Amino acid sequence: MKKDLISNQAQLDDSGKLIHLLGLENLPKSYLVDILDKADNLIDSKGNLKKSKALDDMSVANLFFEPSTRTRNTFEIAAMRSSANVINVDLANSALKKNEALMDTMHTLKAMQIDMFVIRHKQSGLPHHVAQHLEGVSILNAGDGINAHPTQALLDMLSIRQRKSNFEDLSVAIVGDITHSRVAHSDIQALKTLGTSDIRLIAPEGLQHDSSRCEAVRCFDNIDEGLKDCDVIIVLRLQKERMIEADIPNEQEYFDNYGLTPERLALAKKDCLVMHPGPINRGVEIDSAVADCPQSIVLQQVTNGIAVRMAVMQILAQNS
Nearest Cα to Cα of residue 149 among 122, 184, 115, 173: 184
Element (H, E) at 48: none
3-class DSSP state for residue 186? helix
98 is in an annotated binding site: yes
242 is in an annotated binding site: no
* Inter-axis angle of helices 29-41 and 298-319, nearest 10: 110
237 is in an annotated binding site: yes
Distance CA 226, CA 229 (A): 9
70 is in an annotated binding site: yes
Peptide bond into 279 cis (omega under 30): yes
277 is in an annotated binding site: no
71 is in an annotated binding site: yes
Nearest Cα to Cα of residue 233 among 195, 197, 187: 187
The pairing of strands 85-88 and 198-202 is unpaired
Known binding residues = 70-71, 98, 120, 149, 152, 182, 237, 278-279
Residues of the binding site for L-aspartate: 98, 182, 237
Residue list, annotated binding site for carbamoyl phosphate:
70-71, 120, 149, 152, 278-279
